[in-house]
Structure 1
């Protein structure tokens, strides 16, 4: 597995990193085993966040006493300086460290800049001056906000969704990061679960030598799938390229990535599952999506009051109410036996 340098941070790490959001769903013991195996298997970069419940604590438990052997990136969703410092202190305590390699402003609604009245960027500068953080990063889901942040020259890393289902605009963002020497951390490399072929996913991202994918992992079996690429790095050959092109024809367009930023719904609709149900039924064994409980969840779409909250909060500018209704129509056809699924 080739190493990449993460922009101007100078961080060198295999192009195969660990996204620690999913480990909040497993026990402490299981998480520690997975994380330590990831390190032994060659992973050195681990990305977490204050918003990921006990994910930071699990990293702290797994890597206590070996801080100099790994890179840790965390994030804050703070909107005020007071909250910034509180969250940073909690993160350091949880991770059992006195510094973070990268600290990222998490899912930002704007490009924070000096003297913008929020004080947020000034907090980053002060923390860096104190040595508490080594590098200043930012994450976004809105593509135009991401462009503003990279063009500002204020951030050393940009974390943004990127996979072989990306648009030309997202590729432009990756190329701009390379031009500006901003490290690109790729979240959602499996497009929120729509991509099932890890070899194709890795092969596609590997052609961008400035992109570091952080794979969301919560099972040892998932981890082993990524670790096998440490010795056998996938190549984007004709066969894989043809497969990717077929996938893109089926999936690219107005699809829900399942990020959940539209939640909560005032009518209790599980938007991040329900708005992509049609695709999930076609691409995954359908049993789990057709249970009595899930049928009840899907029928909640009929109670939608078209308040527009989900649409206004969608970072991808989807017409979420319309997407929900379309998915419900498809779902009813599957229940009625009019459409066959896996």
Structure 2
């Protein structure tokens, strides 16, 4: 089944949802074209967020052009009732709607963060008031932290959850997802491709769809990606022995910390392209070591050496990665690899 009800909300959508992050990286016309094409294809659940820069406005323009009803979800990192209400108003203006179906407290990464959201003047009360007034349909919360999400589900204060879940980070299925299903919470899956680091996106997406009861949200920035993902949704979810071995290999390879390319860490205070630095090893794996001597990568590596250790990126990272330290180590590694290239060791 490529469509499903979102828990007991009575809302039916395609199991493949369109994520709004990549819509920032392409031109406005390209973004509108992709969203419009996805809607025509049958994707009627679209997720975005206030902090996705131009994503909401581009989605709004595409929906206006398409002239079709879609189910909308947006999110805010604001932790106060007043703050999230202002963000809801901004989201509606950008999306060109008077009602948003799902609105989430976004990226709640710690128990302290959760306490702020659920305080008397916290964002949850802002969502509840907005729901009471008919401005939003359902309250939600997103987190990449499994322990925090476990507590969120136990407290049962939100109607829907968004959790990180993918082929190299399957831990959410051990407790969070089954518990949420038991409590009839709507479950949206973020980062099903682990930020694209696996190199096996089709298998990773098929793997995510093989778990029933989940709305799988993934970013798409071209018609070709929409077509490919839609085909995967409509196809079967069985796995060959070779598929299973590739899954095992991926789990071993990506144990530990890695960049998910969510871009929450950017913009950098001194204009370092952080995600490019953190993705260097994966790029070398795909394109070979010679890519390190390309003008683009040489410039990127030099800019990374300008890090002033302000830790702004560290605070914003939903995965709690020690970004300044990781960049420093990766620049060292890249310089070493470039020296080997210069010495003719490859």
Same topology, TM > 0.5 = yes
Corresponding residue for 2:168? Answer: 165
Deviating more after overlay: 258-267 vs 140-149: 258-267
Shift of 1:164: 0.2
Instruction: Give, in angstroms, the shift of residue 297 of structure 1.
Output: 2.7
Cα deviation for residue 65 of structure 1 reads 7.8
Q: CA deviation at 1:71?
A: 0.8
Higher mean displacement: 11-20 or 316-325? 316-325
Moved more, 138-147 or 17-26: 138-147
- Partner Cα separation in structure 2 for residue 140 and residue 289 of structure 1: 34
More deviation, 316-325/77-86: 316-325
In 2, Cα distance between equivalents of 1:330 and 1:240: 31
Which residue in 2 is equivalent to 1:133?
136
Alpha-carbon shift at residue 222 of structure 1 (Å) = 1.5
Q: Is the 8 A contact 2:107 2:143 kept in 1?
A: yes
Find the partner of 1:206 among 206, 209, 227: 209
Q: Where does the alignment leave 5 or more consecutive residues of structure 1 unmatched? A: none
| 8 A contact 1:3–1:12 mirrored in 2 | yes
Moved more, 68-77 or 329-338: 329-338
Contact 2:130/2:136, CA 8 A, preserved across alignment: yes
More displaced 10-residue stretch of structure 1: 330-339 or 223-232: 330-339
Q: Which residue of the partner structure matches residue 3 of structure 2?
A: 3
| 2:19 corresponds to 1:19 | yes
Matched residue SS, 1:8: coil
Q: How many residues align?
A: 341
SS in 2 for 1:73: strand
* Cα distance change of structure 1 residues 12 and 50 upon mapping to structure 2, 3 Å threshold: same
* Alpha-carbon separation, structure 2, partners of 1:243 and 1:73: 33
Cα displacement (A) at 1:35: 1.4
Going from structure 1 to structure 2, the CA distance change for 1:158 and 1:287 (only over 3 Å counts) comes to farther
Deviates more, 1:315-324 or 1:260-269: 260-269
Change beyond 3 A, Cα 1:62–1:304: closer
CA positional deviation for 1:194: 0.5
Instruction: Note if contact 1:112-1:120 (Cα within 8 Å) is conserved in structure 2.
Output: no
Answer yes or no: is the 8 Å Cα contact 1:163–1:189 preserved in 2: yes
**CA 1:90–1:243: 2 relative to 1, 3 Å:** same
Q: Say yes or no: does 1:190 pair with 2:167.
A: no
Correspondences of 1:1-342 after superposition (within 5 Å): 1-64=1-64, 69-109=69-109, 110-111=113-114, 116-168=119-171, 171-263=174-266, 268-284=271-287, 290-302=293-305, 304=307, 310-311=313-314, 314-337=317-340
Shift, 1:305, TM fit = 5.9
Q: CA deviation at 1:135?
A: 0.6
What stretches of structure 2 of length at least 5 have no aligned partner? none
| 1:1-58 per-position Cα deviation (integer Å, ceiling 9, x unaligned) | 5323323333322221111221123333322221121122121111011222222222
> Does the 8 Å contact 1:111/1:148 carry over to 2?
no
**CA–CA distance in 2 between the matches of 1:143 and 1:114?**
17
- Conserved 8 A contact 2:79-2:105: no
Q: 1:26 to 1:302 in 2, by over 3 A?
A: closer
